[in-house]
């Protein structure tokens, strides 16, 4: 897998499709959090963030360090819209955290096949909620992966370089 936006998002989307407890998955925009949740979404849902990339390395090698995140929200037939319904919230948080840990285990088990250097120590999990008008709760997972970056200039992409 190449270290591109689409390859990382596609990888996470595929993992979500393979997990038996995730019913819906999509890449979302953070500004959606202030409104109502998308129509037709079945819970639990996996929301994938856009990938952020930072270049790292030295004179001999260059890497792209990609920080990405996904959020697992909700549980079927469990309403968490009331702020004082801690029992329902805890039930949802337990499920969502468990799914995040499943995803972490799968990502780490595939780190050699995926072509990425997955930083095991970069996984960070934290509670989310209440979010959206519906008052959904869940867990968020952030982590980093690296891949070697090409350092050579491709002259075919530049008007001022003869190739």
Give domain status of residue 155, yes or no. Answer: no
Which of 43, 69, 39 has its CA nearest to residue 137? 43
Give domain status of residue 160, yes or no. Answer: no
50-104 pLDDT tens trace: 999 999 888 888 888 889 999 999 998 888 877 788 999 999 999 999 999 999 9
Please tell me the distance from the alpha carbon of residue 96 to that of residue 108, in angstroms, as a whole number: 18
Average pLDDT of the chain? 88
Considering the entire predicted model, what is its pTM? 0.87
Q: What pLDDT score was predicted for residue 1?
A: 46
Q: What are the backbone dihedrals phi and psi of residue 141, each rounded to the nearest 5 degrees, phi first?
A: -125, 125
Give domain status of residue 144, yes or no. Answer: yes
Q: What are the backbone dihedrals phi and psi of residue 114, each rounded to the nearest 5 degrees, phi first?
A: -75, -20
Which of 30, 33, 32 has its CA nearest to residue 50? 30
Give domain status of residue 87, yes or no. Answer: yes
Give domain status of residue 106, yes or no. Answer: yes
Split into its structural domains, the chain has a count of: 1
Give domain status of residue 89, yes or no. Answer: yes
Give domain status of residue 156, yes or no. Answer: no
**Which residues form the domain of 73?**
5-150
Instruction: Report residue 118's pLDDT band, with 50, 70 and 90 as the boundaries.
Output: confident
Give domain status of residue 86, yes or no. Answer: yes
CATH code of the domain containing 84: 3.30.70
Please tell me the distance from the alpha carbon of residue 22 to that of residue 42, in angstroms, as a whole number: 9
């Amino acid at each position: 897998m190449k270290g591109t936006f689409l390859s990382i998002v596609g990888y996470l989307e595929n993992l979500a499709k393979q997990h038996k407890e995730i019913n819906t998955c999509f890449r979302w925009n953070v500004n959606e959090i202030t409104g109502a949740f998308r129509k037709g979404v079945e819970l639990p849902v996996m929301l994938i963030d856009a990938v952020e990339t930072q270049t790292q390395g030295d004179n001999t090698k260059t890497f792209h360090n990609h920080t990405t995140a996904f959020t697992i929200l909700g549980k079927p037939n469990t309403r968490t819209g009331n702020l004082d319904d801690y029992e329902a919230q805890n039930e949802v948080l337990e499920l969502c955290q468990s799914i995040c840990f499943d995803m972490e285990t799968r990502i780490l088990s595939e780190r050699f096949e995926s072509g990425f250097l997955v930083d095991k120590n970069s996984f960070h999990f934290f509670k989310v909620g209440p979010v959206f008008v519906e008052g959904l709760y869940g867990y968020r997972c952030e982590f980093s992966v690296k891949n070697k970056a090409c350092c050579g200039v491709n002259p075919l992409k530049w008007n001022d370089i003869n190739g």
